[in-house]
Structure 1
């Protein structure tokens, strides 16, 4: 099958390159290695990450310990443990859809792998979704960074609600401290549908004149089978999948001023969503080139990035369904680049000025075959410039920003079926007309923060954001074009961009020696209030045609987000709480291919203790999800889902610097529940889709 051929060729090429570079780099260090000295065991605790508590914005970071050990690599649960952040999580779809503050899909949230936007989408069957889907193999993840609200820089271009960046393995994640050549291997096995997961990675670094060169390569895969819910019933739409992935990164630093990183990551998977009735064969390739010039002065902190992402989809009817859309093929290609710089000036003894400015460009193109169905061909280009200036004086910081976002859209209005309207009978559907649209917005932002005490930082932000309509919305061809035809009547070339006017009000608190000497605690509390105009939803237009339309009036989304942590060495705690009202407009066919709903309230509490000089960590977690709703047709037919509370357990033991073992139990009390925001078909099946009690054992070795 195409899936296997693609997987084998791409992984072989990437692995060969990485291992060849590894072989070249290793001898240079090995000659001078000398006697081997044991390094101190590195214990990572529950902290505030990269000082998120010092940032006057709604930002959250999850590190490798949280992702891989406490959540066993489950990125969706990591996101749901983040305030104001959720996922659309059908049991039959491994693609990740990030929901921030009640908004998801169509580019409302910029979901990225290593800073590269993942824009693939495919509407397939009733209960399908046009949401952006991000595909990443769980072993490759070392962290997830989330920004809620207006996002600075290139990551915020054309984005309405926020951004989430999934970070993957790099050299320092593989090498032991003080080592220049190393191998890391990780393996997991479990129960209740978690068959196994494994990773093999190698890395090396070597001197390069005044600088250095380093390389990392990795291969991983995870095998999952159908699972039982809390009632002991096998959920029928959570079927087999076996994602496989490869990664390489090369870092070149001729000196301390310049750095270039070249990287690539591949993902391949095959699975059967119940919404479509066909096996999906997914292949995702993401390539990056990142350059930085950081001489250490006040004038240059320059970064330039270029990227390419290609996601290929094919419908395979080998499961027995070989009619209608069997043989669908589509390719989503995203290319882009951005450049930015930071500068700093001392205006006088009391006043400092910081400048951040740059530009960005991205091109998102979808091309399908005759069985594209409701997935129109089209290209969306986004480009823009951005600038922010921060003046610091005394206890106050004032940041003023302005971004110019431009967009252009081009696509096919529809297709004539072969043998109709002059279209040759023996051939592909014939395009009708090409239509193009463009527009632009100026989006200002201002933040005022203060530091009256070392432990206190209040802030307030007012910002505008906007999102252009996508080709999926403007050129919607209708849902059942089995012969490849479509009708322009379903298009809406008059769609307007969504625009948000938002306020973030927050406070950061931090302290040490709170309950005992040497402890640390931190807390972020925030309130958001967003007013969205021209919200786009799927509905009956004034002429009675089903299409994507702008909703009249203003959609208001608001809520409170709380996140904090405490670490005293021998014990720690971390928590997040969201209390929000983010109800968005629903069309008459809501839920059939459109709406993802955020629960009004959800929370996570993680408590743990450390033993044997903090080498052994044992912890437990509570996950609460409040009442939610799965939209379907209208208010009366919607599925109202009850709240649920789940308990998990986890443990890890750093045996020595080379070996670590870990253990996870999901849903300790085997609760039977329906996951919030899991999709229409999951609810329509009438069987609760929450995974029952699951044990996962794992180990990681580094040499």
Structure 2
């Protein structure tokens, strides 16, 4: 494992470099606000709908204030507070699995850190899952952006249901307005298993001649958690200790106003014990980014080029006493990729404008395990594609047409011969059998018609195709438990077809000022989706009587209503989201066992209201979280666990003492309700102890200098 050695030393060197620049930046550039160039504007709070209310699509955003102060860094609950968005949330697994409109795992949702796909998966034990898991330390997050449905550009390549991008700290998140160097530190402590969390960052920005500028930021963060009590006062037995540690370093270089280059690196390390596996997981995640933009002020050139690398390492440690079959398992998931795009703008007439975006993307996702890989097949999935999107604006109408071609190829192994069989050395490791490869491609169109008949009203309709290729985990899954060449109860399926969705979306955006009082703002997004999915992939018994991942016959229908809105009058505010949907998916044999199945409640909602005092420096709010009845898949429909609906109440407050200091407090589950979380995973339900966290107090403070 490399995090504590090479990654940490690299981070410390980068942080030292940042601090060195802090010492030299002051004389280079004046610090008074009057002499400071225009800074990036950061919007704190999304109660006015800025950034999403004018977009004719199902999008949601959360900023740093919402994540870090309103939800105490719990980004999973932030996601669950967005319409049509949920998470798979086992109490023993810190990896984040995003569910959009009932679909999760296997790349159905593109989950990203700073635009980099996170594709790690590990099937471990009964109740395990091949869901993609994203690992990020909570203090590093400053925002999360969610797009439901068809996604434009590189982020939509090979993605069926949508995308979620987790944004991390950058220079402007650390520096005070008008400052070119500074330090930010944050600390919080709590009760009921929340021990502490802390963050230290340093950033600097300075001129490099002419219009050129360079900015750097370095950060260290960690969070310590212990087992917690549920609302019945019972310690939940499967949520053990964990202590994730993370580092971040970024450089932003602008030699002039036209060119910008941003380099970033984020490291994460954690050690925890999922009850579904019986082994300690040691996880290390590294994400590296390089982003270049060229914006010369021309209507014909707005160029972006991005490249990335993500490496996630897993190792099983049997020091907890379970030192049997898979102690010492190692696996590495490596994703590399790049994309390039350009935007153009044309004035076709006095009333008609054309905007055109086009580009291409490539990604390579490879999993490689050792001899104790268990049921995790080695394999490589390559995705590549080209895309274009054009919007014609004429009068009150916007017509957007998009077309993309997504290509995929898979390479893997059909199975393994046991030592001493079929020419495999008796004293060696299992020998790989036949190499398999498959490829294909899909053309996916998208068209949106939006109108602005009134200043406050924007209705729209979208029809789109999306597709998702099978993963190596699905196609090359022949090994039962151990991939050791012994009798296998599960087989591979090299004939899997991609999942394909054909969907309609009807929506309306509404916004107005001065609704109830002068200066107030109100906004509302309402959308209805209706998706028909063909060749849905699930774990089932094939026609030959063998278990494998198969395409489901017929059409899987998923539909629902999503509502999101807010009101802000300065002194008081309110925000809410509501989902009413039917997103039941096909369940094959032994559903939930060996391949857990995400099952969402048909209805869930969040309401957040609050008031501001002391010239709006003190904010006090309360939140209601409602989650309807749901199921946890187990073997078959008759044996599935029925999960009751629950309603929780939280409280939060923050006080901006002065420019430099802010304190905040959160109370989760104020009334100490006892409940079982929806979509938590089989082992949480099978354990028989309610996994919902009981009343928890968290207090924290942030200082910026």
Q: The TM-score by the shorter chain falls in which range?
A: over 0.9
8 Å CA contact 1:414–1:487 kept in 2: the answer is: no
* Post-superposition offset of 1:662: 0.3
In structure 2, what is the Cα distance between the partners aligned to 1:546 and 1:9?
43
Residues 256 and 655 of structure 1: is their aligned pair in 2 closer, same or farther, counting only changes over 3 Å?
same
The residue number in structure 2 matching 1:634 is 636
The residue number in structure 2 matching 1:115 is 115
The residue number in structure 2 matching 1:96 is 96
Q: Deviations over 1:295-334 (max 9, x none)?
A: 2221111110000000000000000000111110000000
In structure 2, what is the Cα distance between the partners aligned to 1:49 and 1:377?
44
* Post-superposition offset of 1:422: 1.5
* Post-superposition offset of 1:519: 0.6
1:490-529 residue pairs with structure 2 within 5 A? 490-529=491-530
* Post-superposition offset of 1:488: 10
SS of 1:52's equivalent in the other structure is coil
* Post-superposition offset of 1:11: 1.8
In structure 2, what is the Cα distance between the partners aligned to 1:280 and 1:496?
33
1:571-582 residue pairs with structure 2 within 5 A? 571-582=572-583
In structure 2, what is the Cα distance between the partners aligned to 1:576 and 1:273?
32
- The answer as to 2:681 corresponding to 1:684 is no
- The answer as to 2:654 corresponding to 1:652 is yes
- The answer as to 2:259 corresponding to 1:258 is yes
The residue number in structure 2 matching 1:594 is 596
Residues 24 and 229 of structure 1: is their aligned pair in 2 closer, same or farther, counting only changes over 3 Å?
same
8 Å CA contact 1:25–1:204 kept in 2: the answer is: yes
8 Å CA contact 2:308–2:336 kept in 1: the answer is: yes
Q: Deviations over 1:233-271 (max 9, x none)?
A: 000001100000000000000111110000000000000
* Post-superposition offset of 1:28: 3.4
- The answer as to 2:28 corresponding to 1:28 is no
Residues 154 and 32 of structure 1: is their aligned pair in 2 closer, same or farther, counting only changes over 3 Å?
closer
8 Å CA contact 2:596–2:682 kept in 1: the answer is: no
1:216-235 residue pairs with structure 2 within 5 A? 216-235=217-236
1:103-502 residue pairs with structure 2 within 5 A? 103-209=103-209, 210-481=211-482, 483=484, 490-502=491-503
In structure 2, what is the Cα distance between the partners aligned to 1:453 and 1:556?
34
8 Å CA contact 1:43–1:614 kept in 2: the answer is: no
The residue number in structure 2 matching 1:617 is 619
TM-score (norm 1): 0.97
* Post-superposition offset of 1:349: 1.0
SS of 2:53's equivalent in the other structure is helix
1:78-97 residue pairs with structure 2 within 5 A? 78-97=78-97
Q: Deviations over 1:650-684 (max 9, x none)?
A: 00000000000000000000000000000001000
8 Å CA contact 2:519–2:569 kept in 1: the answer is: yes
8 Å CA contact 1:15–1:247 kept in 2: the answer is: no
Residues 434 and 449 of structure 1: is their aligned pair in 2 closer, same or farther, counting only changes over 3 Å?
same
8 Å CA contact 2:226–2:241 kept in 1: the answer is: yes
8 Å CA contact 1:49–1:63 kept in 2: the answer is: no
The residue number in structure 2 matching 1:699 is 701
CA-based RMSD of the aligned residues comes to: 1.8
* Post-superposition offset of 1:417: 2.0
Q: Deviations over 1:359-409 (max 9, x none)?
A: 000000000001111100000000000001111101000011100000000
Residues 32 and 133 of structure 1: is their aligned pair in 2 closer, same or farther, counting only changes over 3 Å?
closer
The residue number in structure 2 matching 1:674 is 676
In structure 1, what is the Cα distance between the partners aligned to 2:570 and 2:63?
18
Residues 637 and 668 of structure 1: is their aligned pair in 2 closer, same or farther, counting only changes over 3 Å?
same
In structure 2, what is the Cα distance between the partners aligned to 1:170 and 1:34?
20
8 Å CA contact 2:230–2:674 kept in 1: the answer is: yes
The residue number in structure 2 matching 1:536 is 537
In structure 2, what is the Cα distance between the partners aligned to 1:180 and 1:677?
45
* Post-superposition offset of 1:35: 7.8
The correspondence for 1:12, drawn from 9, 22, 29, is 9
8 Å CA contact 1:45–1:569 kept in 2: the answer is: no
In structure 2, what is the Cα distance between the partners aligned to 1:42 and 1:343?
26
Q: 631-640 vs 590-599, which deviates more?
A: 590-599
8 Å CA contact 1:574–1:607 kept in 2: the answer is: yes
* Post-superposition offset of 1:427: 2.4
Q: Deviations over 1:616-636 (max 9, x none)?
A: 000000000000000111111
SS of 1:647's equivalent in the other structure is strand
SS of 2:455's equivalent in the other structure is coil
Q: Deviations over 1:81-130 (max 9, x none)?
A: 00000000000000000000000000000000000000000000000000
8 Å CA contact 2:192–2:694 kept in 1: the answer is: yes
8 Å CA contact 2:46–2:62 kept in 1: the answer is: no
8 Å CA contact 2:18–2:203 kept in 1: the answer is: no
Q: 18-27 vs 76-85, which deviates more?
A: 18-27
In structure 1, what is the Cα distance between the partners aligned to 2:313 and 2:152?
30
Residues 486 and 503 of structure 1: is their aligned pair in 2 closer, same or farther, counting only changes over 3 Å?
farther
